[in-house]
């Protein structure tokens, strides 16, 4: 496995990416489910989003992860617009499985049928302004494994047609991830990983099967970037659903989570790192398979996140020190 701290290989695909990817959920803006539950990160400035993507490109970020449902298509449109003629310089990942209404910006359900894979991809290609997706990921974390095998086979067909280069599953279940990994062009599993939420089984699976571990929530939805206050209306963190830990409804961050962050702050900010840069450095030290994808909404956030690459991973001793402080 390579030791360069600024680039990594995307699993067994051979595709090279920056060690840091950028997650494009937040730049999708506001959207909701049918019951009115916010699913985005609040209001967003599209021009600032484009500037942030351009700044990330200038700083060496070559991997961008989005999904068709982020902002009900808006994230893909903004990413495609920002990349423009530089599309071939980067690796683009998106996801499918959810069904939504773009006009009302509402999630309306999900579709795990093999036929939907092609429909969803066709729509994503149009929004992204590209003729292929580098990494296509199933976005239904708890899909039935038997149905998932059918979806895996559908992805293999898309690879054969040149519409995607590789595929993976966004799931925190190693058993499900292993189902997709049976496909020759499966190269990744996307899962939660951060200092407060380790994922040893998925890391082990990635290393055993030579998959990329693409890490969502690397900054714990902003808590590991210094967020302590509550979120504005329209932000998912203002009314956190059951699957989103670390936040209390309207009351800001969970005090217990903040105490744990404070306990490891000194180690994370060593070597001149910001708190966010230290959190990313922990992930890189966790395994050479990891590719964290922090979110962003501004040029300043893009610069802070990208700046972590130059500082590289934490040491094994620092990793052990964090485990000891967190009692694990």
Q: Rounded CA gap, 318 and 212, in Å? A: 23
Contact 141, 173 (CB under 8 A): yes
Contact 200, 178 (CB under 8 A): no
Tokens 């991973």 sit on residue = 313
Of 226, 275, 100, 94, the closest CA to residue 168 belongs to: 94
Q: Is residue 287 left, alpha or beta, with left meaning phi > 0 and alpha meaning psi from -120 to 50?
A: beta
167 is catalytic: no
Query: Which of the following is catalytic: 22, 31, 41, 70?
Result: 70
Query: Helix 145-160 to helix 174-181 angle, to the nearest 10 degrees?
Result: 40
**CA pair distance 179, 169, nearest whole angstrom:** 9
Cβ neighbours of residue 55 closer than 8 Å, sequence gap 6 or more = 299, 302, 303, 306
Catalytic site positions: 70
């Amino acid at each position: 496995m390579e030791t360069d701290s600024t680039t990594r290989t995307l699993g067994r695909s051979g595709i090279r990416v920056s060690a840091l990817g950028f997650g494009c959920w937040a730049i999708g803006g506001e959207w909701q489910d049918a019951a009115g539950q916010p699913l985005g990160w609040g209001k967003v400035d599209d021009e600032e989003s484009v500037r942030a993507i351009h700044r990330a490109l200038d700083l060496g970020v070559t991997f961008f992860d989005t999904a068709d449902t982020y902002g009900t298509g808006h994230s893909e449109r903004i990413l495609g617009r920002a990349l423009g003629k530089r599309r071939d310089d980067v690796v683009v990942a998106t996801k499918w499985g959810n069904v939504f209404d773009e006009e009302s910006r509402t999630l309306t359900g999900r579709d795990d049928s093999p036929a939907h894979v092609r429909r969803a991809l066709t729509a994503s290609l149009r929004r992204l302004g590209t003729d292929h997706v580098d990494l296509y990921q199933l976005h239904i974390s708890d899909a039935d494994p038997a149905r998932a095998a059918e979806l895996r086979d559908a992805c293999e067909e898309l690879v054969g047609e040149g519409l995607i280069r590789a595929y993976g599953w966004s799931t925190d279940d190693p058993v499900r991830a292993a189902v997709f990994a049976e496909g020759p062009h499966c190269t990744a599993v996307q899962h939660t990983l951060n200092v407060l939420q380790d994922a040893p089984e998925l890391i082990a699976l990635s290393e055993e099967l030579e998959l990329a571990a693409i890490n969502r929530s690397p900054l714990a939805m902003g808590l590991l970037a210094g967020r302590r206050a509550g979120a504005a209306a329209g932000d998912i963190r203002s009314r956190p659903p059951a699957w989103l830990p670390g936040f209390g409804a309207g009351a800001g961050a969970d005090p217990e989570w903040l105490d744990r962050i404070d306990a490891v702050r000194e180690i994370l900010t060593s070597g001149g790192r910001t708190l966010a840069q230290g959190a990313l450095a922990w992930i890189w030290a966790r395994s050479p398979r990891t590719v964290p994808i922090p979110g962003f909404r501004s040029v300043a956030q893009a610069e802070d996140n990208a700046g972590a690459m130059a500082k590289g991973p934490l040491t094994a001793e620092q990793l052990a020190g964090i485990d000891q402080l967190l009692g694990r």
